[in-house]
Structure 1
Amino acid sequence: MASPAGRTPSGRPPSVRARDARWRGALAVLEEMRREPGVTRAGVAQRLGLTTGSATEITARLRELALLAETPAAASGRGRPTTVLHPHPEGPLVVAVDLRQEDWRLAVAALDGRPHVAEAATHGDREPGRVAAAIAAAVRRVHRRHGGRVRAVSVAVAATVGHGGVVQSAVLGWDAVDLAALLPDPRLPLFVGNDEALAAAAEARYGAAAGAGTALHVTIEVGVGGTLVVDGRPVTGATGAGGEFGHLPFGDPALRCPCGASGCWDLTVDGRAIARHLGEPPPPDPRSYAQAALAAAERDAAVRSAVGRAASAFGRGLAGLINAFDPGVVTLGGFAEPLRTAAAPEFGAALTGGLMRFRRPAPPPVVAAVLGGDGALHGAAAAGLDHVLTEEGLSAWAAERTG
């Protein structure tokens, strides 16, 4: 590592190549710890092709910089004892926020990327300034508690996101909203992403789509969201606003969506669709309404029929996405998996009927997402850590620790 002033022993600034070499092994070790919490030093060394001495040296330097900690691993056979790698208790943190239709949650994540919820609240109302102020106050409290350990703030929001900010949210009733007020320190980076795109990225890294080169993540909360993930990264388009599956015109063109378009798929698959089929007014919270409808479907034939119609609409649209994107696996989040399960015959028939003939013998597996309702928080934490776990990010941390 460099001296406290960031210079070589000769006093000259290190070259770019030297800086790269300095952090390359450290980043690889930290990424393994992030990929598999609880991994041992011996396991990391084996995966990365490191000698025992190199692994020991790298982890020692990372301990000195408060980037990881080690605890003795459980004995297994007569081999040389090893250690389990963990984030250092004084190490870097990112603040992750999940901003949804009815509420928000704030979590803190260390270098293993696992978010731990610190605060949560429902919206008093959805006026953007008041929502942002409530979240900003919570972020400031976390920042005061942890100080310079906080390296980034990352927000997953139920909205269309473009150029790093909110451009529109049909579910929140927002148009363009600036979330810069969430930063407790203007020197910190702020990352804003669509909640389902971030959940998809997390599912591809840590969840049911891990190891798949091309994965399609689709979720239902208030409408349909998701994205295509290629090699672990969501495909979000030229401005970041891609993945708005719910606004594909798969629905009834006579229905006007809050987004401003007609015929959106959103309106055919969630609690609003079930209520409409039952002749009831749009529910204030389509998510909780849909959950209640699934619970009632077993004993009420009319509700069962309404749920089946929503499941059919979901299956048809999903078939269109499979035809278009050719994913290796499809993961379902939110209300999507319970809807499929509750009306499996209707969903299955619609999905099969919508697939191109050559796909029907071997369609991609459609599986439940394993991160559940925490997928967006995991994804937001990952986006923040992608900034921290770079040569520049570690260099800045090291300079502050030693300087």
Structure 2
Amino acid sequence: MTSQARPTTGTEGLRRQNTAVVLRALRQEGPSTRAELAKQTGLAKATISVIVADLEAAGAVTEKGSRPGVRGRPGRPVVLRADRFVSLGLELNVDYVSAVVLDLAGQALFSESRPAGDGALTDLARDAVTAHAGEGQTVVGTTLAVPALVRGDNRTVAWAPNLAIEGDGLAAALGELVPGGVQVSNDANCAAYAESHHGAAVGVAHALYLTGTVGIGAGIVQDGELVRGASGFAGEVGHMPVGDSAALCGCGRRGCWEASVGLHAMLAAVGMPELDTPLLTAEAVASRAADDPAVREGLERVGRDLGLGLAMLSSVLDPGVVVLGGYFVPLGDLVLEPARRTLDERLASAAQVRPELRLSTLGIQAAALGAAEQSLGPVFAGELDLGEPAVRTSDREA
């Protein structure tokens, strides 16, 4: 059985929207009594009691302990349950695959990355579902993050310069393995969403996230929501004509930004081999840089080209914070300091404020985490009724 989002009009629509308001309050504020929920949401206490009872019956919330309430009467905090409803986020990248399972409270029940290879993604997806979304649990949604342009149907890959995955075949294949079907999203958008909800961009009104893998992509976040553009393709920054005009890019053209600052470009600049994941690779480079001036010089060049592209993006988008993920994290100031200097040199006016450059705090699973968080979106938007949600793993196995 697969749940379908139903129209949110009339009495039923109002009930679902009010339920979503309560769920969002519990997610944002944590365990709360009914009286506290009424204050946080503006809903009547009687309405809160009905909603909480329905959510308890569905297995989405439970009561936990007690604490003093209004006029000394004890209140029993309502808390989101971690053992009933979950979402799955997956990522397929050039050299690794990742999976994250989240509960309703946004806690990761499972987080793992493996080297890419034949069957690696499907094996990881199967393991995540069978081992970490067990008997009695329900997967409310699954999203796959890919380094590609994804069409507005959130399923069809329009262009993937570093992977041969165009079309909807990947979503269809994964849909045979995981409950409830699969949506597909751009990896930078997913990572940006994760940073705005879990990482270095929490509370930031205008943020830009930059991937640091073989490809370079960007996710644009305003007030916690993604900016996707007219066709959903906003953020395809890796192929801006910035950097070494002679450098050959994976897309077949020369002079793309990622051909100067992507993982392979960085390794060419320092003369070192690639390891299993971008993070392991960059950790080895950072270690070598401590004693090797040639490696530091190569990273200086990468940092300058990084700053050149960021100056262009800053002039167009005016982000308050730029979060750098992937291989940039272990290298830190080895690339960020030359990037900052270049930003200062290239911003056209002293009136322009240089965005704060922050390193991701979420590791290699950032995109998978954001994909899982996006999969919870319909629950907190009132588009998915937890009374008859997606697919239990026991239903799938029956």
TM-score normalized by structure 1? Answer: 0.81
Which digits, 9 at most, give the CA deviation of each residue in 1:55-74, with x for residues without a partner? 34432221122121221266
Structure 2 counterpart of 1:113, from 93, 106, 116: 106
Q: How does 1:29-48 map to 2 (within 5 A)?
A: 29-38=22-31, 43-48=36-41
8 A Cα contact 2:87 2:141, kept in partner: yes
Alpha-carbon shift at residue 338 of structure 1 (Å): 3.9
Specify the alignment match of 2:12 in structure 1. Answer: 19
Alpha-carbon shift at residue 135 of structure 1 (Å): 4.8
Specify the alignment match of 2:143 in structure 1. Answer: 154
Specify the alignment match of 1:373 in structure 2. Answer: 364
Specify the alignment match of 2:169 in structure 1. Answer: 178
- Separation in 2, partners of 1:358, 1:248: 25
8 A Cα contact 1:225 1:243, kept in partner: yes
Distance 1:80 1:348, change over 3 A: farther
Which digits, 9 at most, give the CA deviation of each residue in 1:104-124, with x for residues without a partner? 233322222333226654333
- Which of structures 1 and 2 has the larger relative contact order (alpha carbons within 8 angstroms, sep 6+)? 2
Specify the alignment match of 1:320 in structure 2. Answer: 312
8 A Cα contact 1:139 1:183, kept in partner: no
Q: How does 1:254-403 map to 2 (within 5 A)?
A: 254-278=246-270, 280=271, 283=274, 287=278, 288-360=280-352, 362-394=353-385, 397=388
Alpha-carbon shift at residue 30 of structure 1 (Å): 0.6
Alpha-carbon shift at residue 182 of structure 1 (Å): 0.7
Structure 2 counterpart of 1:194, from 173, 186, 200: 186
8 A Cα contact 1:99 1:155, kept in partner: yes
| 1:49 pairs with 2:42 | yes
Specify the alignment match of 2:396 in structure 1. Answer: none
* 1:393 counterpart SS class: coil
8 A Cα contact 1:143 1:184, kept in partner: no
- Separation in 1, partners of 2:27, 2:254: 43
- Separation in 2, partners of 1:399, 1:299: 54
- Separation in 2, partners of 1:87, 1:281: 47
Counterpart residue type for residue 220 of structure 2: L
8 A Cα contact 1:246 1:264, kept in partner: yes
| 1:238 pairs with 2:254 | no
Q: What value does the CA root-mean-square deviation take over the aligned residues?
A: 3.4
Distance 1:181 1:149, change over 3 A: same
Q: How does 1:183-222 map to 2 (within 5 A)?
A: 183-184=175-176, 188-222=180-214
| 1:168 pairs with 2:151 | no
* 1:293 counterpart SS class: helix
* 1:237 counterpart SS class: coil
Which digits, 9 at most, give the CA deviation of each residue in 1:81-120, with x for residues without a partner? 4444433355332222122322323332222233322665
Distance 1:357 1:346, change over 3 A: same
Specify the alignment match of 1:100 in structure 2. Answer: 93
Specify the alignment match of 1:4 in structure 2. Answer: none
Alpha-carbon shift at residue 310 of structure 1 (Å): 0.8
Specify the alignment match of 1:87 in structure 2. Answer: 80
- Separation in 2, partners of 1:158, 1:289: 19
- Separation in 1, partners of 2:336, 2:112: 37
8 A Cα contact 1:215 1:228, kept in partner: yes
- Separation in 2, partners of 1:230, 1:290: 30
- Separation in 2, partners of 1:120, 1:332: 19
8 A Cα contact 2:110 2:132, kept in partner: no
Distance 1:323 1:41, change over 3 A: farther
Calculate percent identity across the aligned residue pairs.
Answer: 31
Structure 1, unaligned runs of 5 or more: 1-13
* 2:238 counterpart SS class: helix
Alpha-carbon shift at residue 281 of structure 1 (Å): 7.6
TM-score normalized by structure 2? Answer: 0.82
- Separation in 1, partners of 2:179, 2:285: 47
Counterpart residue type for residue 216 of structure 1: L
Counterpart residue type for residue 70 of structure 1: E
* 1:223 counterpart SS class: coil
- Separation in 2, partners of 1:397, 1:336: 43
Counterpart residue type for residue 235 of structure 1: V
Structure 2 counterpart of 1:63, from 52, 56, 65: 56
8 A Cα contact 1:274 1:290, kept in partner: no
Distance 1:51 1:175, change over 3 A: closer
8 A Cα contact 2:110 2:128, kept in partner: no
Alpha-carbon shift at residue 205 of structure 1 (Å): 2.9
Specify the alignment match of 2:395 in structure 1. Answer: none
8 A Cα contact 2:199 2:360, kept in partner: yes
Alpha-carbon shift at residue 352 of structure 1 (Å): 0.8
8 A Cα contact 2:95 2:277, kept in partner: no
* 1:227 counterpart SS class: strand
Structure 2, unaligned runs of 5 or more: 1-6, 393-398
8 A Cα contact 1:139 1:182, kept in partner: no
8 A Cα contact 1:166 1:177, kept in partner: yes
Alpha-carbon shift at residue 285 of structure 1 (Å): 5.9
Indicate the larger mover: 179-188 or 266-275: 179-188
8 A Cα contact 1:212 1:328, kept in partner: yes
Distance 1:60 1:95, change over 3 A: same
